[in-house]
Amino acid sequence: MNSKQSLDTKIIYNIVYNLIEKANTNLPSWVYNKLSNFNCNYKDKILKNAYLAQSKGRPLCQDTGQVLVYLEIGQDIIPEGDCVESVINKAIADCYKEKFFRKSTVKNALYDRNNKGDNTPGLIHIDIVEGAEILITVGIKGGGAENMTQLKMFNPTAEPSEILDFAKKCASEAGENACPPMCIGIGAGGCAETAAFLAKKALFFGETVEIDIENVFETRILTAPTHIACLPVCVNISCHSLRSASGKIINGEIQYTDEIQEYYDVETPSNAREVRTDDISALMNLKNGEEILLSGKIITARDAAHKRLAEMIDRKQVLPLSLENKIIFYAGPCPASNGEIIGPVGPTTSKRMDKFAPLLYENGVIATIGKGDRTIKGLNKLYFKAIGGIACVLQACIKDLTPVCFEDLGTEAVLELTVEKLPLKALWL
């Protein structure tokens, strides 16, 4: 008896497309429940964001990241049609275009950092297993938390407690750059690349480790065999939006395996006072650590736009906009869907702009907005911290948008935004 089963790879396209949409817009119920019981100062905004994303079908975070696809394909399956990787990448490209998700993949890490415009290729991992089923998990990994990854080659006689201490250190150093509360993935074993692979996979499939780490709601680990002289360990971090969705294909039929939970609206009261962007005196008299609601006009600019502006200033070229008294929001929003002023939007990691910030402050910028701490000090310049990972909540604060310049940079173009009661914390650098 022949147990082999033919499978049209169009079915893989369909399930991957749907899992990408679900992972980006619906916080897994176990994550939502964990966060509901987690002690966090802005928990109400995180839960509100989950409600808005689910109810509107829009991304939890503006950084709709790189797409991870984990497949277990039964060896009795015979794929027919376009190759599996091709249909997966087509599903990614089509979903990101049709659902107005942000495309964040550049053509080459070193030599051509122009945005590809379709968010491909996905990071695809395929295992061949027994049987005639296909199991698929899609994960979405943003850049802010990914940049906090750390790899360490331990002495092979190291104790497990040393590994957990390393994870604590990584979480502490990540801080607000990884949009806490965080989930920690630990990978140990194999060679260096194995540990890195396991650390990320642990976020979705790992065994839970009971460990008390500040601002971490879950720690998971995966291990593998290794050389007698080696103990490679990697820590990979996810923000509070640990985005994933799973399903399987059995006898040519798609089954979605995640629990569906309906989220509810959450009030997010604030006693902070409103400050306008054109009230220079009020801005200059803000206290360090003061929470405010900012209203008025700001501009967006992040990595690529900063580099271009700095190069133009160095060459003494005329800038396409005046920087005088401007407030720069380090942000790259999702494309606007039908009826939206802007797509979900939120802050990116501020310290990546630190090498440009003094120059832009010198040329008239009055304040900047981003997430996390900064490496620049002693400037006596204003910096606003925004909460990361609540893109739908912050989207509601944007009342108007006008393109300004560098539209070829896509999501990194400079935009003028009219904001209303944008929640921020004032700090002096």
Residues serving a catalytic function are 306
Alpha helices in 102-154 (DSSP H): 143-146
> Taking a C-beta distance cutoff of 8 angstroms, is the pair 313, 363 a contact?
yes
Nearest one of 214, 186, 218 to 202, comparing CA atoms: 186
Distance from the Cα of residue 101 to its chain's centroid: 12
Among 328, 321, 323, 429, residue whose Cα is nearest residue 378: 429
Q: How far apart are CA 333 and CA 394, in angstroms?
A: 11
Pairing mode of beta strands 182-190, 232-238: antiparallel
- What's 157's DSSP letter? T
**Distances, alpha carbon 35 to alpha carbons 58, 138, 184, 264, in Å:** 20, 21, 14, 14
Q: How many other CB atoms sit within 10 Å of the CB of residue 179?
A: 29
Q: Which tokens sit at 139?
A: 């994960």
Nearest to 200 by CA among 108, 90, 125: 125
Backbone phi, psi, residue 226, to 5° = -150, 175
Residue 290, classed as helix, strand or coil, is: coil
Asked whether the bond before 269 is cis by omega within 30 degrees of 0, the reply is no
Cα gap 101→83, rounded to integer Å: 25
Establish how many alpha carbons lie within 13 A of residue 374's alpha carbon, considering only the half-sphere containing its beta carbon: 25
